[in-house]
Amino acid sequence: MAHGWEGAVLRLFRGRDFTFTVTGAEQVTEGFRRIRVTDGGLLAATGGAHPTMWVRLWFERNGKPHQRGYTLVDPDPATGTFALEFALHDGTASDWARAARPGDTIDATLQGSRFTLPEPRPARLFVIGDAASLPAVNSLLDALAGIPATIWFETTRTPAHELPLRLDQEHHTLHAVPRRDAGAHLVSEVKAALPGLIGTDASDAYVWIACDTATTRALASYARKELAVPRDRVDALGYWRAG
C-alpha cells in the first residue's frame, strides 16, 4: 500500500517501514482483540524493544491510507514476534482486527517511539490511561514491577474487572473512572486524589499519562506546575483527539 503524504513526511523524519504478518488472533475480552504477528525484521533492526514501544499501522479507508499508533505487546526479539491489541469500536482499524487471519499482512512505520526508564527508579508510580493506552500501561507496569503504583483508568463500555490489565494486587491500586464530559471527569478525579498521594515531596514519584490529547495536557501541566513533580518525572503523550 502506498502511504501518501503522511508516509512521505515520516520518511523525511527517518521513519522505517516494515511489514508484519499475522500468525494468530485471540478475543481477549468482548472489547479487546489481540493479533499476533511476525515483525518483518523490526526488533532486529532496532536492537530490541523498550517499554511502551509503538508503531504506526497503515490501513486503507475510502481508497486512502490511514495510520494509527499501536503498542508492541510482549515483544520477543529472539523470534521476531509480538502482539498488537485493539480496543474494538466502529472504525477501519477495528474492522481490520476483527477480520485478520493467519497469513494476512499489514504495513507499519516506526517513527516517534521513545522511552527511557527513569533513573534512579521511582519509589512511587502514578499512571493515568484509557483503552487506547492499555497495552502501554501494561508494558510500563511490567517494566517497573514491584514499585507501588496507583492507576486511574478511564473506561467506557467495558467494566473494569474485564479489562486485560496486568495488575499486581500487592503493589497496584486501580481506580476505574467512567468517561464523562469529554475527559473532564477523569481530570477532576485525579486532581482530587493526587496531591494527597504525592505529598509535599514529589522527587521520588513518577507520573505517566496517556489519554486523549486535551486530558493528557491538562494533567501533565497540573503535575508539573501545581504539584512540582520534576519535569523529567512526568511522561505524557496524547494518544488520540476527542471528536
CB 83 within 8 A of CB 73: yes
Task: Indicate yes or no: pTM above 0.85.
Answer: yes
Rounded to whole angstroms, the Cα distance separating 67 from 70 reads: 10
CATH of 4-110, one of 2.40.30.10, 2.60.120.380, 1.20.1600.10, 3.50.30.30: 2.40.30.10
What is the side-by-side strand order in the sheet with 73-76?
A: 64-71, 54-61, 105-110, 16-29, 32-38, 81-87, 73-76
Rounded to whole angstroms, the Cα distance separating 221 from 40 reads: 38
The domain spans of the chain are 4-110, 124-236
Q: Which helix (H) or strand (E) holds 208?
A: strand 205-210
CA 153 from chain centre, in angstroms, equals 12
Furthest C-alpha separation in the chain: 54
* pLDDT given at position 12: 59
SS3 at position 86: strand
Rounded to whole angstroms, the Cα distance separating 50 from 5 reads: 28
CA neighbours within 13 Å on the CB side: how many for 117? 15
pLDDT in tens, 161-180: 678 899 998 999 999 999 99
For the 124-236 domain, the top CATH level (class) is alpha beta
Residue 46 confidence class, pLDDT cut points 50, 70, 90: very high
In 44-156, the DSSP E strands lie at 54-61, 64-71, 73-76, 81-87, 105-110, 124-130, 149-155
- The full length of the chain comes to 243
Q: Which residue has the higher pLDDT, 8 or 150?
A: 150
Residue 29 confidence class, pLDDT cut points 50, 70, 90: confident
Tell me the average pLDDT of the chain.
90
CB 53 within 8 A of CB 113: yes
Residue type, 241: R
Least confident of 8-22, 98-112, 133-147, 223-237: 8-22
b/e map of 33-63 (b: 16 or more CB within 10 Å)? bbbbbbbbebbeebeebbbbbbbbbbbeeee
